[in-house]
Chains A and B, each alone.
Chain A
Amino acid sequence: MQFDPFIIPFEIGIYSIILYAVARSVIWFRDLSRQDKLRLQRGFFGRSFGKSIREIFMESLIHRKILKANPRLGYMHMSLAFGWFLLILFGTIEADIFGEKHLNPPYRAIFFKFFNPDHGRTGFEAAWSFLMDFLLAFILSGLILAIIKRIYSRVVGMKRTTKLKPLDKVALISLWTIFPSRLLAESFTSGAYGTGSFLTGSLGSWLASFLPANEMAYPFWWLYSLSLGTFFVLLPLTRYMHIPTELFLIFARNSGITTGDKAGAFTEMQIYSCSSCGICIDACQLNFSNGITTIQSAYLLKGIRNGTDVKDIAFNCLMCGRCDYKCPVGIELTPIRMIQRRAGEVNKAGKGLWKKYFPDKPAVKLPKTNGRHTYNFLPPIPSAKTEVLYFAGCMTHLTPAIRNSMVRILDASGVKYKFIDENGGVCCGRPLMLAGQDKEARELINFNSKLILKSGAQVLVTSCPICYKVFRESYYLNIEVLHHSQFIKRLIDDGTLKLNFLRKRVVYHTPCDLGRGSGVYQEPRDVLSYVSQLQKTDVDDGNSLCCGGSLGNMKISYHQKHKIATDAAAALTKDHPDILATSCPLCKKTLAAATETKVADIAEIVAEAIYAPSGIKPEPGSQSTTLHSQRPLSRV
């Protein structure tokens, strides 16, 4: 018996999904930019190939990251993905060894029991049947968890799970039907023939004791084939598209392709790689501090996939990057959100079935440029040569203590520097970028770039992580950009800055744009542990919380921001430190309003610790070429 009509739905499903995956991969590859195509080719035939295969095994099958973060949820994902993979693998081997011939079509492995009902009575065959039963039991255990999770998500350690669209539900039900129907189909067949191992065999003989097993088996084989076929055909329209896409994404990422600031094939791949697992929802502070559960990255990506209007979702976000950090697939969620914020970026809703399978690329309608400058009032640029530039930034001007401390530190270290925005400068442009207004931001960037380049400086020091991030990423300056914590670290290492040790217990709050945004974790910690007693918290480094003051979110109210700040401050000051240190003027201002503990910037703590031999007072401005010889800022 080589063929039976019930395999037709499965056959349609499997071949259509294989063809679809190939077609989609070709489209994505075609849409990549020239450089990215080269990168992918080099990556695919190069050393990163092994790395990609390893990552596919560890992340797509074992789900190591989810297992580490949440063992129960990880087990659920692992049992379904890895279990299914092993079931197919060992099923194929089984069909190859025990079947009539080698190299069988896929359906022979999937419906092996139907075509070989007598198989698995003795010896090696029985051992193999045991293995297959064990794998099926492994998957079913995960499936039970998945079903309970839909009803009560706390079972797998998740506070919330994603809401699904109708088509996702149909696909979900067909996915859930696959394994129970296989179990029943195999059990009935085993019951009729007296074969099968501990699971199908026992269940089969029990069912056969009161049911006509031979007649009952056939409908369940149909159900098994139908559910597989339905799942495969619907897969491209649902979140399950992440299964094939993620493989492509891993290769692309390991080849060195990044999101950048433009929408493109890589962004699309990432959007389809999201499995809506919901880990980003639990990570989001808007969720656990404000109870907002409709704007998280899983919903943003879902909205983009479905071609709905995501403007409200895109703008209602702190852009803190916690979801990027926690995403088990490693999708660059914040850059994708930035692209969505940009004016003129429109998602077209796909009309018709064909468009749903092969969606259009997002249309970019760039705003008309009329050649008029928005900021034509900016002052002329002076030219004065110096080595080190200090750019305080808007927020630092709101917190004069940080500015004055930095001036004291720079003066005490004897560095030749110039304070470029001493009397209030021009904004760095990132707030405009966060509001999606890149054209306007570019004007400010051009102005500041000219200002910096004219000075001929080699090092640019800034006190604000917001400025730091945009200077590094969007300015294209051939100059070293340092955050003041990095600069102070360098001064300490050089021996130019002599500091006392302060007997204070300090906790450090990592600002989003400095930590997750720019990857600066170590230098601020080094500086703080050099001058004080630095304590650990539960929310260190990558896991740090947003202070709530973020310029990324324009939608939430002052009270919601304050709630986020209060929660963050409470988590940081759990062990009652003397000082809550941070390295961002915006964080300082927001957190200071939300806690009783003293909040101070690293610069303030360092300035307090400056070692000054008694009797000798450093003359303000004597070592700098700035205006402060006339107006010493340290006394302001």
Chain B
Amino acid sequence: MDKFGFSILKGRHIDYDSNDRSVADYISSKEPSFNVCIECGCCTATCTTGNFTSFSLRELQILLKRGENDKVHDVISKCMLCGKCTLVCPRGVNTRNVITLAREAFKLKIKNAV
């Protein structure tokens, strides 16, 4: 492809082979409903924290699945676990557990246990 002048912009490159999907795997092994998310954004629309910041669970879960964990790590603690997202989720994703497991995974990651 490179020969024809087509190349991938490095900044936009999501490499599923080399990305670190350990956190996402940890979550989906313990909370299978993490996998059925359709990224509709209902959770973000109703979010209590989202009312004050740009916190978005929809975004976070996409980032986790892509393996861009650093961005998630910085903001995941902002969630108040109020549970509105769980109630509005049309797919029945147990979002509170997803967040708790993500926090757990980051803690384990420091100890290289994931």
Majority SS at the chain A contact face: loop
Given known A554-B100, A557-B94, contact A431–B80 (CB-CB < 8 A): yes
> Is A291 an interface position by the 8 A CB rule?
no
Given known A374-B77, A394-B82, A444-B80, contact A554–B97 (CB-CB < 8 A): yes
Given known A554-B96, A558-B33, contact A426–B80 (CB-CB < 8 A): yes
Stretch at the interface among B8-16, B19-27, B46-54, B63-71: B46-54
**A378 adjacent to B82 (CB under 8 Å):** no
| Total inter-chain residue pairs, C-beta < 8 Å | 73
Alpha-carbon distance A425/B47, docked complex (angstroms) = 11
> Is A123 an interface position by the 8 A CB rule?
no
**B78 adjacent to A377 (CB under 8 Å):** yes
**A426 adjacent to B48 (CB under 8 Å):** yes
> Is B81 an interface position by the 8 A CB rule?
yes
Question: How many chain B residues touch the partner (CB < 8 A)?
Answer: 23
Q: What is the chain B residue whose CB lies nearest that of A393? A: B82
**A427 adjacent to B92 (CB under 8 Å):** no
- Say how far A513's CB is from chain B's closest CB, in angstroms: 13
B contact residues around A457 at 8 Å (CB): none
B contact residues around A586 at 8 Å (CB): 83, 87
B contact residues around A374 at 8 Å (CB): 77-78
B contact residues around A398 at 8 Å (CB): 46, 84, 87-88
**B97 adjacent to A555 (CB under 8 Å):** yes
Alpha-carbon distance A444/B77, docked complex (angstroms) = 13
A contact residues around B48 at 8 Å (CB): 394, 424-427
Q: What is the chain A residue whose CB lies nearest that of B91? A: A558
B contact residues around A394 at 8 Å (CB): 48, 82-84
Contact of A435 among B33, B77, B78, B96 (CB under 8 A): B96
Given known A398-B46, A549-B87, contact A432–B80 (CB-CB < 8 A): yes
Q: Please report which residues of chain A, range 22-43, place their CB below 8 angstroms from some CB of chain B when the two chains form the complex.
A: none
**A379 adjacent to B81 (CB under 8 Å):** no
> Is A574 an interface position by the 8 A CB rule?
no
**A558 adjacent to B92 (CB under 8 Å):** yes
Contact of B51 among A424, A435, A556, A558 (CB under 8 A): A424
Given known A557-B33, A558-B33, A586-B87, contact A432–B78 (CB-CB < 8 A): no
- Say how far A555's CB is from chain B's closest CB, in angstroms: 7
> Is A375 an interface position by the 8 A CB rule?
yes
- Say how far A357's CB is from chain B's closest CB, in angstroms: 34
A contact residues around B83 at 8 Å (CB): 394-395, 431, 551, 586
> Is A628 an interface position by the 8 A CB rule?
no
Alpha-carbon distance A52/B89, docked complex (angstroms) = 51
**A589 adjacent to B87 (CB under 8 Å):** yes
Contact of B82 among A423, A431, A554 (CB under 8 A): A431
- Say how far A368's CB is from chain B's closest CB, in angstroms: 12
B contact residues around A425 at 8 Å (CB): 48
Contact of B81 among A426, A432, A556, A590 (CB under 8 A): A432
B contact residues around A395 at 8 Å (CB): 82-84, 87
Alpha-carbon distance A80/B45, docked complex (angstroms) = 60
> Is A597 an interface position by the 8 A CB rule?
no
Can you show 12 pairs from A to B with CB atoms below 8 A apart? Answer: A377-B49, A395-B87, A423-B51, A427-B48, A427-B81, A440-B80, A549-B87, A551-B81, A551-B96, A558-B33, A558-B89, A586-B87
**A375-B78, A444-B80 given. 9 additional CB < 8 A pairs?**
A374-B78, A394-B48, A397-B84, A424-B51, A426-B48, A431-B81, A435-B96, A551-B96, A557-B92
Sorted nearest first, the 9 A-B pairs with minimum C-beta distance are A558-B92, A427-B80, A427-B82, A424-B51, A394-B82, A554-B97, A431-B81, A551-B83, A377-B53
